Amino acid sequence: MIDFVEGNVTAKYPTHVVLENNGIGYDLQISVNTFEDLPPDGEKIRLKTYLHVREDSLQLFAFSKEDERKLFRGLISVSGVGPKLAQTILSGIRTGELLTAIRNGDEQRLTGISGVGKKTAQRLIVELKEKFAMQGFDMEPDHKSRPVPAYSALEEEAVMALMSLGYKKASIEKAIDRVRSQEKVVSVEELIKKALQQI
């Protein structure tokens, strides 16, 4: 198994990054959360990795934090959740919020993530609560937690597009939250335009 890859960032996008090490460019699949932790182009970083092997391809998934890799491994152990969906889940929700949703059995928060239906959300809660507790995560129910409004697929697409332009996720989410509280937007282009006015 390849435990980590260290190298200089030569290209980065919300879904993957290329690290150069000794003349070899490693194309690593990443979540938006890891994308936010990447340094500027040309700088060095070490990323934890998971090698996914299929009959027709090898894919390296990378993580800036060990906890995110643990969550990824847990997600892909659930029936019906493959590496790409696990990556989408980790891009659609912060790691702490994911743990909170599973801990509290919050199906609504999980189904708000693109690609996660009701049955998948139920499996995530049932299968991962005990598993994550055994790995040292705090999985005691938090009855005081405040629900976080889920993003629609349209809003998630707008977030990814704005991040690819170099804006920080936290700033984008604040802007989109302001837009969604003021009016209903029906297209990604319109949402991006209005969010840029709020950033």
User: What tens digit of pLDDT does each residue of 8-43 get?
Assistant: 999 999 999 999 999 999 999 999 999 989 999 999
| CA–CA gap between residue 126 and residue 120 (Å, rounded) | 10
Half-sphere exposure at residue 52, Cβ-oriented, CA atoms within 13 angstroms: 19
Pick the CATH number of 153-198 from 1.10.150, 1.10.287, 1.10.8, 1.10.3470: 1.10.8
pLDDT of residue 55: 81
Cα distance between residue 174 and residue 192, in whole Å: 13
Q: Residues in the chain, how many?
A: 199
Q: Which pLDDT does position 19 carry in this prediction? A: 97
> Pairing relation of β-strands 24-29 and 58-63?
parallel
What are phi and psi for residue 46, nearest 5 degrees? -110, 125
C-beta of residue 161 within 8 angstroms of C-beta of residue 184: no
3-state secondary structure 96-158: HHHHHHHHCCCHHHHHCCCCCCHHHHHHHHHHHHHHHHHCCCCCCCCCCCCCCCCCCHHHHHH
Separation of alpha carbons 72 and 99, rounded Å = 12
Q: What pLDDT, on the 0 to 100 scale, is given for residue 159? A: 86
Residue-wise pLDDT tens digits, 59-106: 999 999 999 999 999 999 999 999 999 999 999 888 888 999 998 999
189 and 39 in contact (C-beta within 8 Å)? no
* Angstrom distance (rounded) from CA 125 to CA 91: 18
Q: Token digits for 159?
A: 């977030």
Distance CA 148, CA 45 (A): 31
Q: Helix and strand tally (H, E) in the chain?
A: 9, 5
- CATH 1.10.150.20 positions along the chain are 66-134
Higher per-residue pLDDT: 45 or 182 = 45
Return the CATH class of domain 4-63.
mainly beta
Q: For residues 85 and 89, what is the distance between their CA atoms, to the nearest angstrom?
A: 6
What is the C-alpha separation between 103 and 176, in angstroms, rounded? 27
Residues 136-180 have pLDDT tens digits of 776 665 544 444 456 777 788 888 888 888 888 888 888 888 888
Measure the CA–CA gap between 52 and 75, rounded to whole angstroms.
Answer: 13
pTM score, whole prediction: 0.71
Q: Where in the chain is the domain with CATH 2.40.50.140?
A: 4-63
Count the Cβ atoms, other than its own, within 10 Å of residue 116.
23
| CATH 1.10.8 domain residues, the chain | 153-198
> What local confidence, expressed as pLDDT, does residue 147 receive?
47
Q: Would you say 44 and 17 are in contact if contact means Cβ atoms under 8 Å apart?
A: no
What's the pLDDT score for residue 139?
Answer: 66
For domain 66-134, give the fold.
DNA polymerase; domain 1 (1.10.150)
- The confidence score (pLDDT) of residue 186 equals 76
